[in-house]
A = this chain, B = another copy of it.
């Protein structure tokens, strides 16, 4: 019998990932702040934890997929979750946080003998269902080796290892989300010109995504924008992630011109 995994955070992405783990035959103990979100998984065989700490067991593995730095920190510090996990325990943190926040979390875990693996994930909920997620990971080698089969079972079509340095995988996630927003917003501005110039955006999207930009983001957003399915202002990436990119870049004196402008656009349309 494989060990029971704690899974904390059953949002739009967490729920289908947890369902993939269950479907792979891995016993789960799940927790979500809004308890009703655990019901479907419990009916599929997951055990319910009444508090986040109850999802953890000594020396075990806990996975979390939460909203931001503060929510991850709250979950691991409240009720002694890290004490419960203790030496030999591993926390796989999949939330989109700041590199600084991730380093702070790693230090906090180390103080309890818990190994911290950052494993942010790219993919919409449909991609989780279709097992087409991409995961970036960083952390101590033994912990990564231990949790790697878990990441595959979550529905990853690819897992990219960025070494032991905490912050590396988190940075990749921020950079990827920044590039997604930039591509989607640029596609919006481009297709607006096509339409306002009196031309049909559809064949333009078809040409561009078959030639210069044969990438899922351009194809998906381009077709939705051209078909009028989504407003140009919509995007799946939260403003908060763009804010994290900008804040992180400022802290290391890296350019933020494009991020600043994208934030302005996103905020004006919010």
Tell me if A252 and B179 are in contact (CB < 8 A). Answer: no
Give bound CA distance, A249 to B187, whole Å: 14
Which of A122, A214, A215, A257: most chain B CB closer than 10 A? Answer: A215
Tell me if A197 and B167 are in contact (CB < 8 A). Answer: yes
Chain B residues near A160 (CB, 8 Å)?
203, 206-207, 211
Chain B residues near A26 (CB, 8 Å)?
none
Tell me if A186 and B179 are in contact (CB < 8 A). Answer: yes
In the complex, whether A99 has a CB less than 8 A from a CB of chain B is yes
Tell me if A193 and B122 are in contact (CB < 8 A). Answer: no
Secondary structure type dominating chain A contacts: helix
Give bound CA distance, A176 to B211, whole Å: 10
Partner of A193 from B158, B186, B248, B257 at Cβ < 8 Å: B248
In the complex, whether A235 has a CB less than 8 A from a CB of chain B is no
Tell me if A171 and B197 are in contact (CB < 8 A). Answer: yes
Partner of A212 from B198, B215, B248, B256 at Cβ < 8 Å: B215
Tell me if B136 and A207 are in contact (CB < 8 A). Answer: yes
Give bound CA distance, A161 to B264, whole Å: 37
In the complex, whether A253 has a CB less than 8 A from a CB of chain B is yes
In the complex, whether A43 has a CB less than 8 A from a CB of chain B is no
Tell me if B207 and A216 are in contact (CB < 8 A). Answer: no
Partner of A261 from B187, B206, B257 at Cβ < 8 Å: B257
Tell me if B199 and A167 are in contact (CB < 8 A). Answer: yes
Chain B residues near A212 (CB, 8 Å)?
122, 134, 176, 179-180, 215-217
Chain B residue with Cβ nearest A217:
B212
Give bound CA distance, A217 to B249, whole Å: 23
Asked if A171 meets B199 with Cβ closer than 8 Å, knowing A158-B211, A193-B249, the reply is yes
Cβ of A211 to closest chain B Cβ, rounded Å: 4
Q: Mark A131-173, 1 if CB is under 8 A from B, else 0.
A: 0001010000000000000000000001010100101100110
Cβ of A199 to closest chain B Cβ, rounded Å: 5
Chain B residues near A116 (CB, 8 Å)?
none
Tell me if A257 and B248 are in contact (CB < 8 A). Answer: no
In the complex, whether A178 has a CB less than 8 A from a CB of chain B is yes
Tell me if B175 and A193 are in contact (CB < 8 A). Answer: yes
Asked if A196 meets B249 with Cβ closer than 8 Å, knowing A211-B122, A215-B212, the reply is yes
- Contact sample, A vs B, 26 pairs, CB 8 Å cutoff: A122-B212, A134-B211, A158-B210, A162-B204, A165-B198, A167-B197, A172-B204, A172-B208, A175-B208, A178-B190, A179-B186, A179-B212, A180-B212, A186-B186, A188-B255, A189-B249, A189-B254, A193-B245, A193-B249, A196-B252, A196-B254, A197-B252, A212-B216, A214-B214, A214-B215, A258-B265
